[in-house]
Amino acid sequence: MKNFLNLEMNRNFQDEFSNSKITQMLAEKIRDTARKIKKNVALMEVCGTHTVAIFRSGIKSILPENVRLISGPGCPVCVTPNNYLDRAIALSRLDDTVLCTFGDMMKVPGSSSSLEKEKTGGKDIRIVYSTLDALKIAQENPDKKIIFLGVGFETTAPTVAFALKEARKEKIRNFYVLSAHKLVPPALRFLAESEDLKVDGFICPGHVSTIIGTKPYEFLVREFEFPCVISGFEPLDLFQSLYILLSQIQKKKPEISNQYVRAVKGNGNLKALGLMDEVFEKEDSIWRGIGMIPFSGLRIGDDYKEFDALTQINVQVEKNREPKGCLCGLVIQGKKTPLDCPFFARKCNPRNPIGPCMVSSEGSCQAYFKYGQVKGSRRSYGSVYRTLACVILAP
C-alpha cells in the first residue's frame, strides 16, 4: 500500500519508519515549506497518543522556528469530569461491589479521594485490560455487582458495546457500565468555534479515525477552512503529516488528508459504528475543564438500560471540588502549555498529581514532565528516549 510521497509503508515497520534517508528528505521538505509560509503557525495534535509519540521522538526539537505544536483534548482520562470519578469512588464503597477500570484512572484525584486510595483502604477495585475481562469477573462472581468504568473515545466505546451484547447473550445480570464515553468530532467543532483558539491546522487522531473514518472531519474544512491530516503514530508518520499540513497551509488549500491509509478508511469501521449505534445514544456531555459540549458523549441507550450503573445503582456522590489553580482545562484546549502552570514539576508531578493531565500517560503535563526537552522550556525534565535528530544524523 502506498500513501503520500509514494512511500511503501507496510513492508517492515522497523525499516520503513526509521529510515534516515526518508526522514532527512521530509525534514528538508518541512523546512522549505515552513520558510515559504513566512508566518508563525500553530498545529494542534488532537490525540494524547500523538502527544506522547511527538515527545518521545523528539520532533519538537527539530521543528522550524515558525512551527509550533500544541496539544489538544484527546486524552480520555484528562477530559473525564471530576464528578464522574467521585461517583465511581462512591460506587466502589458499596458492599458486594467490584469496580473494574483501566489502570490510568487509578491515580486521578477526585474531590477528596482517588481509586488508588480507596483500593489501598480495602475496596475491591481491579485493573483490567479490556471490558471482556470485567465481564469474566462478573461471570465468576454472580453474587457481586461488577461495575466497569467506560472511559474513552470512539475507540473504546465499540468494545464496551460488544461486552454489553455478550452480557445479554450470556444472561449475565450482575454486570454494569458507568459510561463516560466521549466523541471527538463535537469537541473539534467546539474548538473550531472558539474565538480565542490560535490554531492553523489539526493533526486528527489516528485510532479514533480507524473507527469513524475521514468523513466526520469534513466540516472542519467546509465550514472553518482548517487544514487537517489524519496521522499514524510512528516518527515518520508524524513527519509526513507535518509536511502535508504545512503544504496545505502554504498552498492555501485546506483539506482532509489521510496519511494513515494503512489503517483508516473513508467510512471507518462500519461494524464498530453499528455496535455503538445499537447500544449507546448521543447526549450533551461535560468535558473536564471545558464544560458542556453538545452531543459529545454516549450514554447507554434505553434498550440496554439494565446495564447502566448510572440509572440502576443508587449512590450518594459528594459535592464536586476541582483542584484549585490547575490549568488542565486550558491545557487541553491548547490555550496554555503545562509550562504556564505554576505547579508544574513543583507541587504537581506524576507521583503527586494535582490534575488529570499529570496522571495520564497520554496527558500533556506528564508528557512535558517525562520528555520535555522543548525549545523555550524553562528547563529540561527527564530524558528523551529517542530523538529524530539522532535518526537524521545517523549514517
Q: Which residues bind ligand SF4 (CB under 6 A)?
A: 326-328, 331, 338, 341, 343-344, 348, 353-355, 357-358, 365
Nearer to ligand SF4, 69 or 341 (CB): 341
CA–CA separation, 154 vs 369, rounded Å?
28
Nearer to ligand SF4, 157 or 326 (CB): 326
Nearer to ligand SF4, 176 or 343 (CB): 343
The least distance separating ligand SF4 from the CB of residue 372, rounded to whole angstroms, comes to 11
CA–CA separation, 347 vs 330, rounded Å?
18
Nearer to ligand SF4, 52 or 365 (CB): 365
Cell of 265: 478508511
The least distance separating ligand SF4 from the CB of residue 82, rounded to whole angstroms, comes to 12
The least distance separating ligand SF4 from the CB of residue 349, rounded to whole angstroms, comes to 8
The least distance separating ligand SF4 from the CB of residue 348, rounded to whole angstroms, comes to 3
The least distance separating ligand SF4 from the CB of residue 359, rounded to whole angstroms, comes to 8
Q: Where are the beta strands (DSSP E) in 78-124?
A: 97-101
Nearer to ligand SF4, 145 or 288 (CB): 288
The least distance separating ligand SF4 from the CB of residue 195, rounded to whole angstroms, comes to 22
Q: Which of 388, 368, 387 is nearest to 379 (CA)?
A: 368
Nearer to ligand SF4, 78 or 135 (CB): 78
CA–CA separation, 214 vs 257, rounded Å?
8
Q: Which of 391, 395, 363, 346 is nearest to 55 (CA)?
A: 363
Q: In Å, how far are 243, 348, 364 from 339, measured between CA atoms?
A: 27, 12, 10
DSSP track, 299-368: EE-GGGGGGBHHHHS----PPP-PPTT--HHHHTTTSS-GGG-TTBTTTB-SSS-SSHHHHSTT-HHHHH
The least distance separating ligand SF4 from the CB of residue 365, rounded to whole angstroms, comes to 3
Nearer to ligand SF4, 83 or 247 (CB): 83
CA–CA separation, 59 vs 53, rounded Å?
9
Q: In Å, how far are 83, 94, 113, 313 from 316, measured between CA atoms?
A: 11, 10, 15, 10
Residue at shortest CB range from ligand SF4: 355
